[in-house]
Amino acid sequence: MSIEELENMSLRISEIAFIWLNDYAGLIVKSPNRVMVIDPAEVNPDDFSKVTVTLITHEHYDHLDESIVGSIHANTKCSVIADHTSYRRLRELIPSDKLIEARIGEKIDVDDINVNVEPSNHPPASTPVSFVIAAENGVTFYHTSDSLPFSEMNKIGLTYKPDITFCTIGIAPGTSPKTGAEIAKLTRPKLAIPYHGTQSSEFIKILSKEAPNIKSMAMQKNKLYKYP
């Protein structure tokens, strides 16, 4: 299914739909009335036409492409929420009334979407963040950026009770299916989904052994998924 088809699809009040956009942490998520894009690197910005908000977790090339973010905003007039370093890089491209700096510990409301800014344990980045996002229908997902697990994820899980946690399993330094499974165990979502890497089957194998009460699934790029 194309991005355009996702943007225009009808969903039940309790549903979200999503597409994994690249090998990294790029996602487009559709709720009944809103469209969220996170870390849209290596995509065609002209494919996006109905974005409510674009979110950037940090400045690395596989998460922030200034020209892509600028073009998505130009096409859709969406709000843009970005970590401090990415925010500074985007100031010349995004109008000030549409660009919001993501500060850890803050809650940002954009068109009935609640964005909670949390830490990210990704030392190579300058000011990385992760996002716990609640769509207008209440479905909540945790986008962990490139993060390794860290103890505060336990509190994040208890506080937000995410329906979905997207778990980093590779590419970023120190990450693996094992660390991804640890993220799932700390946050205890209803559904754990591996991304940012290729070893999804290993992640699912580890999690099914160590936390069989947490459901998991593997994604394929550019394929539509619905929750629940």
Task: Kindly give the confidence (pLDDT) of every residue in the chain, 228 residues in length, as a single tens digit, with 9 standing for 90 and above.
Answer: 799 999 999 999 999 999 999 999 999 999 999 999 999 999 999 999 999 999 999 999 999 999 999 999 999 999 999 999 999 999 999 999 999 999 999 999 999 999 999 999 999 999 999 999 999 999 999 999 999 999 999 999 999 999 999 999 999 999 999 999 999 999 999 999 999 999 999 999 999 999 999 999 999 999 999 999
Q: Report pLDDT for 47.
A: 97
DSSP string, 40-105: --SS-GGG----SEEEE---STTT--HHHHHHHHHHH--EEEE-HHHHHHHTTTS-TTTEEE--TT
For 46, the token pair is 């002209």
Domains of the chain: 3-227 (3.60.15.10)
Q: What dihedral do alpha carbons 128, 157, 183, 197 form, nearest 10°?
A: -60
CA distance linking residue 214 with residue 207, whole number of Å: 8
Residue 55 confidence (pLDDT): 99
**Does the predicted TM-score (pTM) go above 0.85?**
yes
